[in-house]
Structure 1
Amino acid sequence: MYTLDELKEITHSCRRCRLCSGRNNVVFGQGNHEANIMFIGEGPGREEDLQGLTFVGAAGQLLTKAIEGIGFKREEVYIANIVKCRPPNNRNPQEDEMQACIPYLRWQVKLIKPKIIVCLGSIAAKNIIDKNLRITRQRGQWVEKKGVKILPTFHPAALLRDDGKKRPFWEDFKEVKRVYEELIAKAD
């Protein structure tokens, strides 16, 4: 079994799909290696690709505010993506790109062992929960897989384009906090 650092090294030399040819940096993921809560998006954008860090652009700033709004720091959670390299022009990752990269994410989840996973947007939710999931219909509805509670919600970038998604997104984050506190209380 790899450590997260070993897995990160492996991804930095990855050439399993065409996304590697256009990347500046592999955006592996970051945060607490023993986080109880893991946030998963679709893939890095321009700022993330330049800095090699997850969710650092405008959508990332919004995500950070939401995480802090429910009483956590970014350093306490773990943030990753379905694909580790930026798709050209921020297009959605294609199926073969996601299939090439998702084994890395599965290893991250196995190593971190989160109690809660929050899928940020439909691409993350479809890859983690169900390929037929409809984010507008199923956001905010918990699913449990292998003992992990999983919640699909809107991607923070969607909130930047549509103010109407802000309230449901925030309600989902408050629900993450509630379920987290419930899980911690049961563990005591």
Structure 2
Amino acid sequence: MDIAKEIKKYLIYLNELGFSYIPADENFKKLLKNNTYFSENNLEKIKNAIANCEKCPLCRVRKQPIWGEGDLEAKLMLITEFPDKDEDFYGKPFVGAMEELLEKILKSINLTRKDFFITHAVKCKTPGGRPPEFEEISACKTYLLKQIKFLNPKLILAFGFTPPKIFFDNNPTLSSIRGQPIKIKDSIILFTYHPNYMLKNPAVKRLLWEDLQKFRKFYEQIFKIS
């Protein structure tokens, strides 16, 4: 049952009965007021907007844009770069060998992918797997920022070279910001290398490991885990 839809139907029913107000206590009224389902820019509308997006040329080469995957109540978010051909086919982030690698990486800091809501900085695959261009990143920027706003994660782990381009106008190098906690409104975001980049450049394995350890420390501090 979709609780939000049932509540909406009930409110319509009350209106048809002639009620000009909500017969409920103040706490319930506050819940309705704050519930993102009734918001102008709720998650369902954002998801539909992504599914039908034609803001940039990537809409012509994708099979499907990828909204993300995970618990909407999760207080951790993982932002990766952009879908590869396998993710585009299956419609979710981190599939096949990359899913196994991700699980190993997260297990090293006593977490699993189920602890995160996982999404891409750019929602559609690119031709030949090339890096997204400025126009494509700009087209997806609003979607990602709205996801963060409504999911309200406390801590964000960002993989790769694309996510910083969402959050910084001066286009800093990943090496200059990786491992540093950056406050984004109510969230703390930590940038680091993508696991796939590590496979191609083994020299960054140690740096990725260092950043993951920092992420774990922030996780323990924020959620008061000893």
Whether TM exceeds 0.5 here: the answer is: yes
Q: Offset at 1:151?
A: 0.9
Match of residue 152 from structure 2: 113
- Cα distance change, pair 130–117 in 1 and its aligned pair in 2 (3 A): farther
Match of residue 147 from structure 1: 186
Q: 1:24 aligns with which of 63, 73, 76?
A: 63
Higher RCO by CA contacts (8 Å cutoff, separation 6 or greater): 1
Q: Offset at 1:130?
A: 5.1
Match of residue 68 from structure 1: 107
Q: Gaps spanning 5+ residues in structure 1: where?
A: none
Structure 1: distance between partners of 2:146 and 2:177: 26
Question: What per-residue deviation string (whole Å, max 9, x for no partner) do you get for residues 163-184 of structure 1?
Answer: 1111211221121111011011
1:2-151 equivalences under 5 Å are: 2-129=41-168, 131-151=170-190
Count residues in correspondence: 186
Structure 2: distance between partners of 1:130 and 1:139: 16
CA RMSD of aligned residues (A): 1.8
Structure 2: distance between partners of 1:3 and 1:58: 33
Question: What per-residue deviation string (whole Å, max 9, x for no partner) do you get for residues 88-133 of structure 1?
Answer: 1011111111111111111110111011112211221232245332
Q: Offset at 1:185?
A: 1.7
Q: Gaps spanning 5+ residues in structure 2: where?
A: 1-38
Amino acid at match of 2:179: G
Structure 1: distance between partners of 2:182 and 2:82: 22
Q: Secondary structure at the match of 2:79?
A: strand
Q: Offset at 1:4?
A: 2.8
* Bigger radius of gyration: 2
Structure 2: distance between partners of 1:25 and 1:5: 17
Provide the TM-score with structure 1 as the length reference: 0.91
Residue 60 of structure 1 contacts residue 156 of structure 1 at CA under 8 Å; is this kept in 2? no
Q: Offset at 1:47?
A: 0.7
Structure 1: distance between partners of 2:59 and 2:183: 33
Residue 138 of structure 2 contacts residue 166 of structure 2 at CA under 8 Å; is this kept in 1? no
Sequence identity percentage:
35
Provide the TM-score with structure 2 as the length reference: 0.76
Q: Secondary structure at the match of 2:82?
A: coil
Amino acid at match of 1:48: E
